[in-house]
């Protein structure tokens, strides 16, 4: 009986039991090369701008070097609120709009300081219950849940693309399709658009909960931001 | 077939000779090509165009073009033109070089509107034109963004 | 505002071919894209690019929408004297951009 319940639990948990694999592993050699080269990775243009903004606006209290390892601990929960890196920056700079160049730049700059470090968000399984449910929820006209593509069919082809595990360790990322750096929330909304679901607004509770779950799911993956994805 | 034709065929069939085939990659009456060459013959060779065989996204595809040339004042590459036969804007870029370049090699990243042939035409300081071409498969996104 | 990354080697030997890599922040808007509201985003791409080394033109390019967003240009210049490598560009909206880096020649 216990074994049956355990198996059911595994099936319903929505967390892939195969090894976690970054989106980098599902990219072509050319895309991987582009990400690896700081002088050619367009995402670095935003990180550079972030460095300049940091020097102007933040460095009087926060030395740039002091940001090493910080992004790897996000997202987290503080006083009952989900705090992503963007949310943390917005607390200090509430005037910045979601997906604005400046917010992306600051996020990319801080995230870059954690490149290569394992993602170790300060959260536990209890924190991500709602996000897990959202990940398993069928939605949109196509009536698909995230898990249907990114767990059941990761590694398989959809058209001419290989479906990734949908890991979030590279965000904010430069998506070739966007021609600019973009946040994880932008990517999530794009996925929801793909299944013809309603798009929750940027900064909404629903997207924050999904981000939190994805962080738990991606625990241990190397941080790659600014990553390059197709 | 007379002796002259036979010799001409033999020369064409020999390796190396075949690579200098005139107008192998372009039609000189194509107005775009004409704008660069004024109708002069464009021979295959001397230029090497490098791109991946398959691109997972047409938004940004690596491209390198090199021309074998000493890049001296007496002998250098004047220009390299890139054409994408199926793009809405076929002339992707023109690069202008000279002896100050040191080496005739340029890389960039291009946009491709689907699988197609890409052609590079080089103009040398002696007034001759050379070309290379390749076919590239461009994979389309299965799940497009909707710009959101 | 558009940022630029210019990458040159730390130093170069006189007469050697030096690789320059320039990465420019620019959308290279094709004019075929639609925004979230469905309206066409007008074309705006860098069409002219120039690199001067100690005031001498060493590389020039005419670009089009066939060049990807946030264009990368990698080209060579022959090292002569230590000095300024300047890049300049102009887009369809008539906005200019420029940046420079110093090349040390030994």
Fold of A18-229: Cytochrome Bc1 Complex; Chain D, domain 2 (1.10.760)
ipTM value of the model? Answer: 0.95
Q: Are A172 and A165 in contact (CB under 8 A)?
A: no
Q: Which residue stretches of chain C have pLDDT < 50?
A: 1
Partner-chain residue, chosen from C3, C23, C28, that has the shortest CB–CB distance to A40 = C23
For chain A, what are the domain ranges? Answer: 18-229
CA distance B64 to B10: 33
Can you give the pLDDT at residue B6?
A: 59
Strands B129-138 and B54-55: parallel
Summarize chain A as % helix, strand, coil (round to 5).
45, 10, 45
Partner-chain residue, chosen from B59, B93, B147, that has the shortest CB–CB distance to C63 = B93
Domain coverage including residue C44 = 4-103
DSSP codes of every residue in chain C: ---EEEE--S-B-TT-EEEEEEEE----B-S--B-TTSPBPPPB-EEEEEEEETTEEEEEEEE-TTBPSS-EEEEEEE--SSEEEEEEEEETT--EEEEEEEE-B-
- The first and second tokens of residue B107, run together, are 């890389």
Q: Which residue of A has its CA nearest to C68?
A: A179
Tens of pLDDT, residue by residue over A22-40, are 999 999 999 999 999 999 9
B77's CB contacts (< 8 A; 6+ apart) are B67, B69, B71, B97, B101, B104, B122, B123, B124, B125
Give the CB-side neighbour count of residue A19, counting CA atoms within 13 A: 4
Task: Tell me the mean pLDDT in the region B84-99.
Answer: 96
DSSP codes of every residue in A156-190: SEETTEEP-----TT-SEEETTTTEEE-HHHHHHH
CA distance C92 to chain A (A): 18
CA distance B88 to chain C (A): 9
Judging contacts by C-beta atoms under 8 Å, the chain C residues touching residue A179 are: 27-28, 68-70
Instruction: Please judge whether A190 and B60 are an interchain contact, meaning their C-beta atoms are less than 8 angstroms apart.
Output: no
Helix A129-136 / helix A205-217 crossing angle, nearest 10 deg = 90
Judging contacts by C-beta atoms under 8 Å, the chain A residues touching residue C36 are: none
Instruction: Please judge whether B89 and C64 are an interchain contact, meaning their C-beta atoms are less than 8 angstroms apart.
Output: yes
Beta bridge partners of C3: none
Q: In this predicted structure, which of B16-30, B76-90, C74-88 has the lowest mean pLDDT? A: B16-30
Q: Which residue of C has its CA nearest to B77?
A: C59
Instruction: Please judge whether C3 and A45 are an interchain contact, meaning their C-beta atoms are less than 8 angstroms apart.
Output: yes
- The beta strands (E) that lie in A38-159 are given as 76-78, 81-83, 157-158
Judging contacts by C-beta atoms under 8 Å, the chain A residues touching residue B139 are: 159-161
Is the per-residue pLDDT at B111 higher than 90?
A: yes
CATH number of the structural domain spanning residue C69: 2.60.40.10
In sign, the C-alpha dihedral spanning A62, A66, A71, A77 is negative
Can you give the pLDDT at residue A12?
A: 44
Burial class (CB in 10 A: 0-12, 13-18, 19+), B74: exposed
Tens of pLDDT, residue by residue over A154-209, are 999 887 788 999 999 999 999 999 999 999 999 999 999 999 999 999 999 999 99
Q: Considering the entire predicted model, what is its pTM?
A: 0.88
Is the per-residue pLDDT at B86 higher than 60?
A: yes
Q: Are B44 and B19 in contact (CB under 8 A)?
A: yes
DSSP state of A112: H
Number of compact structural domains in chain C: 1
Judging contacts by C-beta atoms under 8 Å, the chain C residues touching residue B101 are: 17, 58-59, 75-78
Instruction: Please judge whether A158 and B142 are an interchain contact, meaning their C-beta atoms are less than 8 angstroms apart.
Output: yes
Q: In this predicted structure, which of A45-59, A75-89, A199-213, B5-19 has the lowest mean pLDDT? A: B5-19
Can you give the pLDDT at residue C34?
A: 84
C64's CB contacts (< 8 A; 6+ apart) are B89, B91, B92, B93, C45, C47
Residue A146 catalytic? no
- The first and second tokens of residue C61, run together, are 């390019």
Q: Are A20 and A31 in contact (CB under 8 A)?
A: no
CA distance A197 to A205: 16
Tens of pLDDT, residue by residue over A102-161, are 999 999 999 999 999 999 999 999 999 999 999 999 999 999 999 999 999 999 988 778
Residue C14 backbone phi and psi in degrees, to 5: -55, 130
Can you give the pLDDT at residue A5?
A: 47
């Amino acid at each position: 009986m216990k074994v049956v319940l355990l198996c059911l639990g595994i099936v319903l948990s929505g967390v892939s039991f195969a090894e976690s694999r970054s989106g980098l592993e599902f990219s072509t050699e050319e895309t991987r090369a582009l990400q690896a080269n700081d002088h050619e990775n367009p995402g670095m243009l935003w990180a550079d701008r972030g460095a300049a903004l940091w020097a102007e606006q933040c460095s009087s209290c926060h030395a740039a070097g002091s940001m090493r390892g910080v992004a790897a601990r996000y997202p987290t929960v503080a006083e009952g609120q989900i705090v992503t890196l963007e949310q943390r920056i917005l607390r200090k700079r509430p005037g910045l709009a979601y997906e604005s160049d400046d917010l992306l730049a600051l996020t990319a700059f801080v995230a870059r300081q954690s490149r290569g470090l394992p993602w170790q968000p300060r959260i536990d399984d209890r924190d991500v219950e709602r996000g897990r449910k959202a990940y398993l929820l069928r939605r949109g006209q196509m009536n698909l849940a995230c898990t249907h593509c990114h767990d059941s069919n990761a590694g398989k082809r959809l058209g001419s693309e290989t479906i990734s595990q949908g890991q979030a360790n590279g965000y904010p990322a430069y998506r070739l399709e966007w021609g600019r750096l973009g946040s994880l929330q932008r990517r999530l909304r794009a996925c929801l658009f793909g299944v013809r679901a309603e798009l929750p607004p940027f900064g909404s509770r629903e997207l924050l909960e999904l981000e939190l779950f994805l962080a738990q799911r991606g625990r241990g993956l190397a941080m790659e931001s600014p990553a390059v994805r197709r | 077939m007379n002796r002259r034709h036979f010799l001409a065929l033999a020369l064409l069939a020999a390796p190396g000779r075949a690579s200098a085939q005139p107008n192998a990659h372009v039609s000189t009456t194509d107005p775009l090509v004409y704008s660069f060459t004024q109708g002069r013959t464009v021979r295959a060779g001397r230029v090497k165009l490098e791109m991946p065989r398959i691109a997972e996204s047409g938004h940004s595809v690596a491209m390198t073009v090199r021309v074998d040339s000493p890049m001296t004042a007496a002998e250098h590459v004047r220009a390299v033109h890139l054409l994408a036969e199926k793009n809405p804007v076929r002339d992707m870029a023109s690069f202008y070089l000279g002896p100050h370049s040191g080496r005739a090699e340029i890389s960039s990243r291009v946009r491709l509107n689907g699988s197609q042939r890409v052609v590079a035409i080089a103009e040398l300081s002696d007034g001759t034109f050379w070309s290379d071409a390749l076919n590239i498969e461009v994979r389309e996104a299965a799940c497009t963004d909707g710009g959101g | 505002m558009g940022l630029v990354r210019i990458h040159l080697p730390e130093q170069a030997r006189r007469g050697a071919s030096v690789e320059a890599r320039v990465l420019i922040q620019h959308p290279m808007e094709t004019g075929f894209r639609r925004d979230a509201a469905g309206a066409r985003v007008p074309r705006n791409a860098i069409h002219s690019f120039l690199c001067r080394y100690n005031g001498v033109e060493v590389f020039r390019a005419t670009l089009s929408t066939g060049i990807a967003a946030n264009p990368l240009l990698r080209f060579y210049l022959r090292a002569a004297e230590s000095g300024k490598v300047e890049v300049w560009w102009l887009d369809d909206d008539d906005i200019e951009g420029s940046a420079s880096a110093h090349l040390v020649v030994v």
